[in-house]
Amino acid sequence: MAAAPFTIKDVAQAAGVSTATVSRVMNRNGYVKDEVRKHVEDVIKQMNYQPNILARSLKQERSRTVGMVLPDMTNPYFMAVARTVQQHLMQQGFHLLYMDSDDNPSKELEAIQVFAGMRTEALILAGTGGNADCLNQMLAEGKTVVLFDRTVCGVQADLIMDDNRSSAKEAMSYLLGKYGPDIGIIRGPDRISTSMERTEGTRQAIAEAGCSPEDFIWFEGGFTRRSGREAGKQWAKLTDRPKATFSYNNEMTYGFYLGLKESGIPLEEVEVVSFGELETAPLFANRLSVIYQNPVKVGEALAEMVADRLEKGRKEREQRIFMPRFERMFH
Amino acid sequence: MAAAPFTIKDVAQAAGVSTATVSRVMNRNGYVKDEVRKHVEDVIKQMNYQPNILARSLKQERSRTVGMVLPDMTNPYFMAVARTVQQHLMQQGFHLLYMDSDDNPSKELEAIQVFAGMRTEALILAGTGGNADCLNQMLAEGKTVVLFDRTVCGVQADLIMDDNRSSAKEAMSYLLGKYGPDIGIIRGPDRISTSMERTEGTRQAIAEAGCSPEDFIWFEGGFTRRSGREAGKQWAKLTDRPKATFSYNNEMTYGFYLGLKESGIPLEEVEVVSFGELETAPLFANRLSVIYQNPVKVGEALAEMVADRLEKGRKEREQRIFMPRFERMFH
DNA sequence: CTGTTAGCGCCTTCAC
DNA sequence: GTGAAGGCGCTAACAG
């Protein structure tokens, strides 16, 4: 069907040289007479020759490619991170490939295996919490694995994340100071480390305020807009609605507001604190505070850590914990 | 650095069979005694062997991979399309790879070339409007190229898009009926076909209403949130602010509202009609109508068209134009 | 049913 | 400076 693309042989023949010379021209290594080089370059351009990266990678045993597995590609936070990583890696001559795990461990495993098969040189992962065995095996084999946003229990890989415990505690203390135990919490599944850590911070704050977790209403969401919306609708049905909400991520917060709105509850009724990036929130939420997670900073750190391993041969494990900014209330 | 991954030879040796047998087991073609198959499968699992996809693709001259180039991966509309395509293609045994062109023709070219080098079997593109030569060359070589959302001038490829002209005309007529020429328009660059076509529809509506384009205030944005925000801020500075806005996409609309808000203009002051998907808009905009572009429908159509070419060997060019739903004002 | 072999496109010694 | 030749890991004929 597709006309077979040109090979290095075709180019060599057309230019009247050997394949070795063409290769040398393309990779600018070895000596080639200027005149010949010029000629070969012209032929390449004219034929629109694209070297077969599959063959090149196979031979060189380097794919110059990095794989990234994300739990939700429709979440702009993750995509902003991804975009930053891509830009920086490209400058180092790497290409970034993405797959979406849909926050589902078995899809995640499939994605990881696809990348492994492609001989991706590094794996960047915001994990579902599963697949620890697989990741450990990769680490044991000396593969480069960098986790971000979320740890995976039992996996000692490079890591970039936020200090979830402290910032959750800070945020929750703030709400407790204002409203006492009259607060609802939209958490995530325990499988996901960010959720677990945020819960730890939240419980610490609760304990220090002399309360007990049972005094609060907990909703378990899935870090998705839909689950936040469910929480909002359930919230609306409560007879004694809490005065404040603490939400573990941006999407659930959007969803929560949508749920309230659909149920006819005025959004000002409840003060909200949320993790994540909520760029359009100022349009509708005037009682919202945000624990801001900077995607650009995270993306830059990821690119740097990957490059350090791949180019500089770093071997020791590295972890970076960022302290997110708690931005009090838009107004 | 990385421990060399196992090869098919290692597996063959460990299992005491030839590489051909291992290959047959993996690809479940050819005859293998059940007993042997079982044994080989065990060895594979135990070694955690991952076949080298590079080598396989090189040999088979099939990468079972599709490339997708998007102008903005932080726009949830595009990512929703991408996610749908990925799900459907995966069922057909293909993997989808993404790159972000940042709506920049030269980055787009680079992305296309990377995919060409990877011998991606098809290219799905929401184009910047540039690189017509490159695309035509690919088509001439028999490559599969499917455009969506935007055409590329002079390129006769498969295409999925919305009827921008008609829906822009419908929307603009609606606004003209209510407000006459007291309308501002946030358009995009002419380079992008959607923008051009929407402008055509808009001008038709204007002409039919007996007005002239000069009666209106036009802002040229870049289909980004930032450019919409700029428009909003400029809007706020006008002495006679129009009563309505027509915006060419979702991101610019969010931005426009943010610009108004930042300038202290109440959002209800202006009625807005916007293309795109604005899921959180009901939270803040009660005078907004949407020309809804369904990402799932588009994604399904894309996957189907690609599969038709790759699996069923379709050769004729196919185009599908969807008529987006004009959803009048929320509630 | 299973093994042997050739070769996909490229890069990299090793001769000349 | 340049060409010839071998091999990366895999699959697809072809033998047996």
Contact A72, A79 (CB under 8 A): no
Question: pLDDT of A241-299, one tens digit each?
Answer: 999 999 999 999 999 999 999 999 999 999 999 999 999 999 999 899 999 999 999 99
Confidence class of residue B28 from pLDDT cuts 50, 70 and 90? confident
Q: What is the pLDDT of residues A29-44, one digit of tens each?
A: 889 999 999 999 999 9
Chain A residue with the nearest C-alpha to that of B255: A280
**DSSP code, position B7:** -
Q: Which distant-in-sequence residues (6+ apart) come within 8 Å of B165 by Cβ? A: B197, B198, B200, B201, B204
In eight-state DSSP terms, residue B145 is E
Query: Do B54 and A57 form a contact (C-beta atoms < 8 A)?
Result: yes
Nearest CA to CA, how far is B284 from chain A (Å)?
5
Supply the pLDDT for residue A330: 60
Q: What is the pLDDT of residue A2?
A: 47
With a cut of 60, say whether residue B313 has pLDDT above it: yes
The helix/strand/coil state of A98 is strand
- Each residue's pLDDT tens digit, B136-185: 999 998 999 999 999 999 999 999 999 999 999 999 999 999 999 999 99
Burial B131-147 (b: 16+ CB within 10 A, else e): beebbbebbeeebbbbb
On average, the pLDDT of chain B sits at 94
pLDDT at position A141:
86
Q: Which tens digit of pLDDT belongs to each residue from B289-310?
A: 999 999 999 999 999 999 999 9
User: Dihedral angle at the C-alpha atoms of B144, B148, B154, B158, nearest 10 degrees?
Assistant: 40
CB B219 within 8 A of CB B184: yes
Handedness of CA B238, B242, B244, B249 (dihedral sign): negative
A262, A232 in Cβ contact below 8 A? yes
Q: Give backbone dihedrals phi and psi of A312, rounded to 5 degrees, phi first.
A: -100, -5
Q: What is the mean pLDDT of chain A?
A: 94
Distances (CA, A) of A268 to A177, A265, B89: 19, 9, 44
Chain segment A80-121, per-residue pLDDT in tens: 999 999 999 999 989 998 889 999 999 999 999 989 999 999
pLDDT at B2 over 60: no
Nucleotide nearest B40 (Cα, C1'): C2
Strand partners, A95: A65
**Which of A 310-329 lie inside 8 A of B, CB atoms?**
313
For D2, nearest residue by CA–C1' is A21
Query: Closest Cα to residue B197, out of B158, B150, B245?
Result: B150
pTM: 0.92
pLDDT per residue as tens digits for the range B57-66: 999 999 999 9
Contact A280, B280 (CB under 8 A): yes
Tell me, what's the pLDDT at B1?
38
Kindly state the average pLDDT of the residues B22-42.
Answer: 92
Distance between CA atoms of residues A93 and A321, nearest Å: 27
Of all helices (H) and strands (E), which one includes residue B185?
A: strand B183-187
Please tell me which residue lies nearest to nucleotide C6, judged from CA to C1'.
Answer: B59
CA distance A62 to A118: 10
Tell me the chain A residues in contact with residue B254 when contact means C-beta distances shorter than 8 Å. Answer: 279-280, 283
Taking only the tens place, the pLDDT of each residue in B104-133 is 999 999 999 989 999 999 999 999 999 999
Which nucleotide minimizes the distance between its C1' and the CA of A36? D1
* Tokens 């995640």 sit on residue: A108
Closest CA to A293 of A276, A273, A274, A272: A276
Q: What percent of chain B has pLDDT over 70?
A: 98
* Alpha-carbon distance B58 to nearest alpha carbon in chain A (angstroms): 6
A3, pLDDT greater than 70: no
Confidence tier at A1 by pLDDT (50, 70, 90): very low
**Residue whose structure tokens are 């590609």:** A73
Binned at pLDDT 50, 70 and 90, residue B330 comes out as low
Please tell me the predicted confidence (pLDDT) of residue A133: 93
